[in-house]
Amino acid sequence: MCLLVIVLLTEINATCKSKNNILSIASGTSFGMCIGHCRRSINITSNPYALIALKEPNFAQTEYPTVQQQYPISSDEWQKLISLIDSRSFQALDDTIGCPDCADGGAEWIQINWLNKNKQVTFEYGKLIQGFEGLINELR
């Protein structure tokens, strides 16, 4: 019984530490055969609490200049977002899921930056990743 309690406490501590070590969460979309703002992304940071939105073309187009805007977020919004992340499960995902941007269907990606590592997962535009539906919907 004592061993079970120690194992559970160790697991809870590791989960808390991995959530506290998240520095930023980014997501975005891209389309290969596209004119206009073909790439869009957000980067949400914990220090300072901010959301940086970016949209840009695939190549220089005077009609579609790169646009970047920063918005403040609250500590509560950050905590809500990281509560949707199981760090261990996210790190175990393949780097590419499905066939992103095949037949110009578009691609989506999520990147999480921890204190000591980064992980980016790219998947088909509009799809969900099992176990991360809440995170994807919140980021969209």
Tens of pLDDT along 49-108? 999 999 999 999 999 999 999 999 999 999 999 999 999 999 999 999 999 999 889 999
Q: Which domain holds residue 118?
A: 2-139
Per-residue pLDDT at 4 exceeds 50: no
Number of domains in the chain: 1
At 44, give phi and psi (nearest 5°).
-110, 125
Residue labelled with tokens 């919140």: 138
Question: Average pLDDT of the chain?
Answer: 89
Query: What's the rounded Cα separation, in Å, for the pair 61 and 50?
Result: 28
Arithmetic mean of pLDDT, 35-59: 96
**What CATH number does the domain containing 112 carry?**
3.30.1560
